[in-house]
């Protein structure tokens, strides 16, 4: 009797268990894997640093490395890392990971934009 009642209510309400999943079967999930930090470029003993200031909490200092896949641009034009001068404002786009050491190291640097 219970099964008959459920079946009758399902038909009346148009509910089917398969309908719940049909909507999501063909969806593509896209993960956002880009994060960015903007600050001032500086060097200490040839170690590149990003100084982030003006936040509502405190100032931060990060180290970072680049590799052959890192894209560096200035005014949307590709440039080499040597074109970044101390005091330039830069934006680092990375995969969202940093190390727990001090100063923290930005990992997975994908792009560096020289802003000024």
CATH number at residue 74: 2.40.50
13 within domain boundaries: no
**Helix (H/G/I), strand (E/B), else coil: 52:** strand
Residue 114 and residue 83 in contact, taking contact as beta carbons nearer than 8 Å: yes
What domain count does the chain have?
Answer: 1
Q: Is 17 within a domain?
A: no
Within a domain: residue 103? Answer: yes
- Domain interval for residue 105: 35-114
Whether the pTM exceeds 0.75: the reply is no
55-107 tens-digit pLDDT: 777 788 999 999 999 999 999 999 999 999 999 999 999 998 999 998 999 99
């Amino acid at each position: 009797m219970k099964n008959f009642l459920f079946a009758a209510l399902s038909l009346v309400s148009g509910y089917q268990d398969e309908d719940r999943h049909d909507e999501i079967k063909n969806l593509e999930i896209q993960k956002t894997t880009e994060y960015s930090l903007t600050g001032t470029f500086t060097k200490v003993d040839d170690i590149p640093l990003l100084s982030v200031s003006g936040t509502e909490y405190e100032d931060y200092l990060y180290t970072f490395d680049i590799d052959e896949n890192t894209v560096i641009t200035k005014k949307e034009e590709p440039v080499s890392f040597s074109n970044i001068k101390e005091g330039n404002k830069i934006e680092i786009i990375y995969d969202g990971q940093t190390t727990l050491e001090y100063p923290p190291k930005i990992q997975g640097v994908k792009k560096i934009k020289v802003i000024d």
